[in-house]
Structure 1
């Protein structure tokens, strides 16, 4: 009987079942895995064929390399936290810049370079201290801490959402990074819109112990030293990936991913050695359940993509949407936005909607503009995540500053609107350029 249902209806059933599972605190890995099995059932794929598709997707080189990268990023993040390096990084930055308005937002931004769940809580005390000079309210301080913590997620290659997007769409990671970088510029500029800095307060530095306040020049070297592991991961991954792509045989499709894996591993060893972590402490980091949950989640998302392809579900949906004459651009904006708002997690809207959107882009004959569509979908989905009442960083930041969800979301809405408008304009620019 289900064979006669529209493909769009069958996929939406699975789609909302996954979202419901996420809302019920089912792990993302399990939600996607069992959603994939349900999808196979609804499209009449036999159990044996489902098993084959699951095995093929889990063991694919792209799956293993992406899961390894995401897991290593978590190891690096936990290692930096264990040796206190992020705190030293922030401390060494104080006094380098004499503009309080800039100092106020740089601390959450620096913390945002590493994708730590609930990372906004790390920068909250510093934002509170620096914000005293401007007499900001609790909701304004929570907004600053929350918004500027997330200005990198559109392109920073350590974020799983960016890595998964490029893997699903078959895009070059570094081309994607360069193309999406302008959205961070927009996010930073738009982030200042809800804020008003009194002139008399701006002339004072709220941290009297900093170099800016005392008139002494703070040395740059300690800051650069603490930044070394992150620079090793990014610059080393970029350089080594480029070299491997030129030297390894063309049939090895993960040359650039291998470069990032090696760079991340080297960065982790650097932190372990420099931080003096014992063998037991290193083992505890590697045995953290979150690490293996992330590995499983990435594999399950790519299993979901594989079942979608094997069921020819997206081709059927494409035919149905073409018959209904629904334009592709509104679908690209609305679908990720809704899922991002419901789930509150970037990886959730990327994993559920991007396999569908990518196939739709090809079905609509827009393959040459895939970069623009992925940019628009990622920004739209992340705007939904920023406005989501389930976003952990938002909840933690509000709790620290003793403010309400409504007040902070009212401040977040304005820069989000600017982001959406600019992403649409940038979409048409990229479309004309490509």
Structure 2
């Protein structure tokens, strides 16, 4: 297919997804329709891509993990265990400090789809001040992810250090100024929230036990991940967290488990993986790269990395795709950092990023209004990073 038609199909596919979601249509259905639109470019490959996606262990494992996380989140909320954790944090932090701390702390837990863990806590806390759902979604996504700019165990960062030959801590040091900028931007959103005086509730014994069902799966999965895939490790460990929460909670109702099972969420995750496979099979990343490669180095790295991160919604894949293409331009560590920052920012706000899907599914905000919070700072970060690394 003609390259320009291919890019138009991609834009039409993404535009359809965004339009449907903005009009409160089912996210899973929107993603599947987006897949069918883009599949017009490679109709002969679609059956094989579909079979590959259905039979991919990682895809099925991710769907199962996300459903189990949803079940765990429902049990923690229904039993009041989350409220106990909030009460303890309120002893130490201000109201606005809580909005930053909740997604930041849980964001460091390496759980696929982990935005769904912090969403109920953020929601519970945000209701006290009547915070808009769109703002809660933005704060949850922002503070959950920005730490991966400086987190040495972030897989895409480890991969980039390996590919570039640069020391990972040197890359992190180069990225600290942009991390500070990201943190400050997030704080500007937190400042929009009305400050309220929280009643310091008397601390009761055992209130922190609500963290156990969250920390237990991670504690089990971490050592297991040295011997098996991360997906396998969480498939084994998450049932332990669900069972622990069920036993610890005062309310023991099996219907809580059923409430956590979301077919629409499963369809959405499957659709995202199918769309990603269609994007790669149609060679869209290579086509986009070929049209941007002639620009000045700083602009090429910033724009191409942002676009590939946005289109793939997978930062690890984006880094793997980008490095071989941009290698001639990556003459020093500042350009390596620019690649990572730009691809990360595109990935962060991608409408097919699983954490965006999961957070949207939880809060059900107005989609366009939520993106009014996300897009301007994301673009600003890439522009500022390009200027900063172009000078350094």
Instruction: Check the 8 A contact 2:213/2:245 in 1, yes or no.
Output: yes
**8 Å Cα contact 1:90-1:110 kept in structure 2:** no
Q: CA separation in 2, counterparts of 1:237 and 1:65?
A: 14
* 1:363 has 2:331 as partner: no
C-alpha displacement of 1:297: 1.6
- Deviations along 1:95-131, one digit per CA (max 9) or x if unpaired, are 2x2xxxx4222433455346346864411354x4xxx
The normalised TM-score by structure 1 is 0.61
- After superposition, the Cα gap between the structure-2 partners of 1:358 and 1:72, relative to the gap in structure 1 and judged at 3 Å, is same
Residue ranges of structure 1 left out of the alignment (5+ in a row): 129-137, 158-162, 197-201, 212-217, 246-254, 340-348, 399-404
Shift of 1:383: 6.3
Which digits, 9 at most, give the CA deviation of each residue in 1:194-225, with x for residues without a partner? Answer: 899xxxxx9xx9446446xxxxxx57x63532
Contact 2:54 2:60 in 1 (8 A): yes
**Aligned in 2, Cα 1:106/1:144: closer, same or farther, shift over 3 Å?**
farther
Measure how far apart 1:296 and its partner are. Answer: 1.8
Q: Give SS of 1:153's match.
A: helix
Between Structure 1 and Structure 2, how many residues are aligned? 349
- Which of 80, 98, 113 is matched with 1:84 structurally? 80
Q: CA RMSD in A?
A: 5.1
CA contact (8 A) 2:279 2:312 kept: no
Q: Is the 8 A contact 2:139 2:190 kept in 1?
A: no
Deviation, 1:80, is 0.7
Shift of residue 56, structure 1, vs aligned partner:
0.9
* Compared CA separation, residues 377 and 80, structure 1 to 2 (3 A): same
Q: Structure 1 270/426 Cα, relative in aligned 2: closer, same or farther at 3 Å?
A: farther
TM-score by length of 2: 0.66
Q: Does 1:152 align with 2:126?
A: no
Partner of 1:261: 235
Partner of 1:34: 33
Q: How many Å separate the matches in 1 of 2:19 and 2:303?
A: 24
Partners of 1:414 and 1:303 in 2: how far apart? 29
The Cα of 1:7 is off from its aligned counterpart by 3.4
The 1:106/1:305 distance shift into structure 2, 3 A limit, reads: same
Partner of 2:267: 296
CA contact (8 A) 2:46 2:278 kept: yes
Of the candidates 48, 53, 59, which is equivalent to residue 52 of structure 1? 48
CA contact (8 A) 1:71 1:295 kept: yes
Shift in Å, 1:233: 2.8
| Cα deviation 1:111-156 (Å, max 9, x = unaligned) | 5346346864411354x4xxxxxxxxx99x9999676544532168
- For residue 134 of structure 1, what is the aligned residue in structure 2? none
Name the CA distance, whole Å, in 1 between partners of 2:294 and 2:4: 16
| Mapped partners of 1:35, 1:108: distance in 2 | 34
For residues 99 and 56 of structure 2, the distance between their equivalents in structure 1, rounded to whole angstroms, comes to 37
